[in-house]
Amino acid sequence: MNIHVDETLGLFHLQSKDCSYIIQLVEGYPAHVYWGAQLHHDKNLASVLELRERCSFSPNPVPSNRTISLDTLPQEYPQYGTSDFRQPAYQAALADGTRITELKYSGYRIVQGKPKLEGLPAVYTESDDEATTLFLILEDQYSGLKTTLLYTVFANHSAIARSTLFEHKGSAIINIEQAMSASVDFADSNYQALYLSGAWVRERHIQRRDLGPGAIRLESRRGSSSHQMNPFLALLRPDATEDRGNVYGFSLVYSSNFVAQAEVEQFNQTRVSIGINPFDFSWRLEPDQSFQTPEAVLVFSEEGLGGMSRTYHRLYRTRLCRGAYRDKERPILVNNWEATYFDFDADKIEAIAKEAGPLGIELFVLDDGWFGKRDNDDNSLGDWFEDRRKLPGGLADLAKRVNEQGLQFGLWVEPEMVSPDSELYRKHPDWCLHAEGRRRTEGRSQLVLDLSRKEVCDYLYDTLSSVFSIAPITYVKWDMNRNMTEIASATASSERQKETAHRYMLGLYDLLERLTSRFPDILFESCSGGGGRFDPGMLYYMPQTWTSDDTDAIERLAIQYGTSIVYPASTMGAHVSSVPNHQVERLTSLAIRGDVAMSGNFGYELDLTVFTKEEKELAAKQIAQYKEIRSLVQQGDMYRLLSPFESRGDTAWMFVSEDQSEAFVAYFRVLAEPNGPIRRLTLKGLDSKKKYTIESGATGNTTDHGGNTLMEDGGSPFRAAFGGEIFGGDRLMKIGLVVSDLTGDFASSTFRLKAIPRR
C-alpha cells in the first residue's frame, strides 16, 4: 500500500494490495493511465499514455497541440460541454442557464487512513496503517466549483475506494445534475460485462455478455437498489473464468437510484461509470455548500471471478459491516411468517417456541401482524403499538414466554411505510411521499413515509426506540415492501424537489445510525420483499439481509450463488421453509432444504408443531451440524465449484478457514440422470501440502411431510466411499471426489474436511 507522486511528471501511482492505479496530468486534466496488476514504481510509467491526433471531429482544448482531445483522452472524471462527447462523470447547470464547466487540476493532498463520508455509509478502517487516501483537487475557474476526487488504497485488499466531493466556492447557485462516484476509461473493448439482474423472488441471477459499440446501462429508478438490478458491474476478459483471468469489479455503497454503465466509443475505448442515477435527480448548491457522492468500491483480480468475490467478501465482512455481530456467530432462528402469516395468537407463538428450544434453535422471530389491527396487509402500518387481541400480555409477556423456552426474542417491523387505513395516516396524511393534488399510488395497500423530513425520522426514532425497549429484543427484521412513486416532498421548495429521493436515503441512513447506536446489542437484518435492497449501503447498518422471499431450495441455489458474486455468506439470511414451497409449489426433501440454507445465516420458517418425530430428529441434526460449521460459513473464504447457471444446474460451493485447516463442502444435484457418467467434484482453496480427513453431513434416514425420502447420512456417498481415508489437499484439488452416487431429483450432499496435524 503506497501512493507515489512525481509532481514534475504529474504522475500519481496508487498501489493497493496486488494492484496499481495510475493517473497522469495532461494539460491540467487528470488522465487515466492504468489499473491492473501491481507494478513497481518507475518514472517510465509516465510514458505509458500515448497521445495522437485523430480528426477535426475530436476537438482540441489546446489549439497548439492537436494530439490532445478530451474526446479521445482516457480521463479520471470526464465533463460535459468542453469537447468530450462520451458519457460525462458529472454535469452542472449554472445560474446563467449554461451547463459548461471545466474542472482542471489545482492540487492534491495525501492522508493516512480513510476519512468518513459525511452522512453516508462507506468502507472504513480501524487503524490508519490499513489505508492511504489521495485527495485530487480540481477547480472550475468560471463558476467556483471545486471538486475533490477521493481515492483510498488498502494494505490488505486489492481494492480502491472512490468518491467525489463537490464544493461551491463561487457566488451564484449551481445545480449538480449528474454526479458519478467513479469513472474509469479502459484502453480497449475486449471485455464482457457481468451483472446481477432479476425480479422479486428471482433476484441476482448472473448475466454475462460481450461489450460492443454503444452502451450497457444498468440502473434503478425505483427509490431503492431494487430486485431488478444490483448496484454492481464487472468487466472480464473473454477468457476469464471463475479461477483465472483479469476481472474488474465496480460496487456502489448506496441503497437508492443508481446507474452503472459501460460505453464503447469510436476507437474501442471503454468508459465505465457508477453512481447516483441522474434520472430525476439534481442537487442545488448555494455558495459554501457541498455535496458528497456515495462511495464506489473498485476491485481488481487476476484470479478470475472467485478472486474478485473473495476480495469483496473479506472487505465487506470486516470493514463495511459493523457492530457487535460483525465477527460474532449469528443465531439460528425460527420465524413464524410462513407458519402462521397473520393468523396467530400468543399461545400459537409459544407452541412453536416450545418445539424450537429442544431442537437447538436459539432465536424466535415474531413477524408481521403483531401491531395495530393487522389481520391482513390492508392496514395498520405506522401504528407501532401491540395488538392486545392477539397478544393480551403484549410483547413483554410474549418475549418472557419465548425466553422461558431457551430462545431469544426478535421482531419484524416495516417503519418506512404507512397504511392509508392507520391512525398515523389519519393524523399526518402529508407525511408520505406525494405530489399535492395528485393521486397517491398504493402498493400492497401502503404508502411511503417521507424520510427526507426530519420530523418524520424523529417520530420513527422515538416510536421504534419505545418498541425496542418494551421487551428483551435481540433481533430486528427491518422490511420495506414497495418502491417509491410520486417522489415529492410537501416541505421541499420547487427548486429542490429532485433532491427528494436522495434526501430520503440520507434520512434513512441517519435514522439507522441513531437506532443501531442506541441498541448496539440488537442484530438488525435488512429486508425489502426479500432481496430488493441487498446492497452495501444497507450492510453498513445491518450486517445481514433477507436474501429473497423465495425459499425454495432449488431456486435459492441460483439466488445465493449469484449473491455471492459480491456479498459474503455472513450477509445472507437463508431459511428452511415448508413444502410444497409457497412460491413455486415444488416438493423437496428436508435434507436438501437444510443443506442449502446452511450456506448462509441458518434458520427455519415453518410450523414446527406439525413436524413428525422423524423430521424433528433430522432438524435437530441439521442444527447441530450447522453449529459445528457456523464459523466456517460466516467467516471463512467461499469458493464456488459448480454454477447453477450452467449445463445441468448442478451446484457446489465450499467454505475454507483462513488457516486452511478445515472446510465445509456442499454439492447439489438438481435432476437425476439415467446411466450417467462418473462425475468428480474438484475442490479449491485447500493447502496442497496438508492431509485431510472427510466427515459427512449429519442427517439420517427418514421421510419428510412432503413425502420425499431423505437419503442416508444426509445424502452423502462420501462416508461410504472414503470413510477413514486420508487425502492430500493436492489430490482433492486436482482429482477430486466422485459425486455421481446420489439418487433421485433434488439431491444434496455436504461434508467437512479437517486437516491432520503435522507431527
| Marked catalytic residue, from 368, 450, 479, 595 | 479
Among the listed residues 493, 182, 521, 137, the one whose alpha carbon sits nearest the alpha carbon of residue 324? 521
Question: What does R_g of the chain's alpha carbons equal in angstroms?
Answer: 27
N- to C-terminal Cα separation, the chain:
37
Crossing angle of helices 454-470 and 500-518, rounded to 10°: 30
DSSP state letters, 210-268: E--SEEEEEE--SSSS-SSB-SEEEEE-TT--SSSB-EEEEEEE-SSSEEEEEEE-TTS
Distance CA 351, CA 35 (A): 58
Instruction: Give the residue carrying C-alpha cell 483471468.
Output: 245
CB neighbours of 129 closer than 8 A, spacing ≥ 6? Answer: 112, 113, 155
C-alpha cell at 409: 426474542
At residue 253, φ and ψ (nearest 5 deg) are -85, 80
Per-residue CA distances from 570 to 519, 592, 632, 671 (Å): 21, 20, 10, 29
Q: Residue 279 region, left (φ>0) first, then alpha (ψ -120 to 50), else beta?
A: beta
Instruction: Give the residue carrying C-alpha cell 473464504.
Output: 637
State how beta strands 333-335 and 363-366 pair. Answer: parallel
Query: Largest alpha-carbon pair distance within the chain?
Result: 86
C-alpha cell at 700: 439420517
What is the Cβ-side half-sphere exposure of residue 81, based on CA atoms within 13 angstroms? 11
Say how many C-beta atoms besides its own lie within 10 A of residue 678's C-beta: 8
Distance CA 98, CA 572 (A): 47
Q: Is 96 exposed, middle or buried (0-12, 13-18, 19+ CB in 10 A)?
A: exposed
Evaluate the CA torsion angle 730, 734, 735, 740 in order and state its sign.
positive
- Looking at residue 747, the DSSP 8-state letter turns out to be E
3-state secondary structure of 135: strand
Distance CA 642, CA 652 (A): 5
Strand partners, 449: 432
Q: Residue 10 region, left (φ>0) first, then alpha (ψ -120 to 50), else beta?
A: left
C-alpha cell at 330: 449469528
Does the active-site annotation cover 479?
yes
Q: Is 380 exposed, middle or buried (0-12, 13-18, 19+ CB in 10 A)?
A: buried
Instruction: Give the residue carrying C-alpha cell 432438524.
Output: 619
C-alpha cell at 207: 448475466
C-alpha cell at 386: 401491540
Distance CA 377, CA 371 (A): 12
C-alpha cell at 173: 447557485
Distance CA 474, CA 476 (A): 7
Does the active-site annotation cover 549?
yes
E-assigned strand segments in 61-158: 90-93, 104-112, 131-139, 145-154
Q: Residue 712 region, left (φ>0) first, then alpha (ψ -120 to 50), else beta?
A: beta
| Marked catalytic residue, from 549, 552, 650, 704 | 549
Say how many C-beta atoms besides its own lie within 10 A of residue 68's C-beta: 21
Active site residues: 479, 549
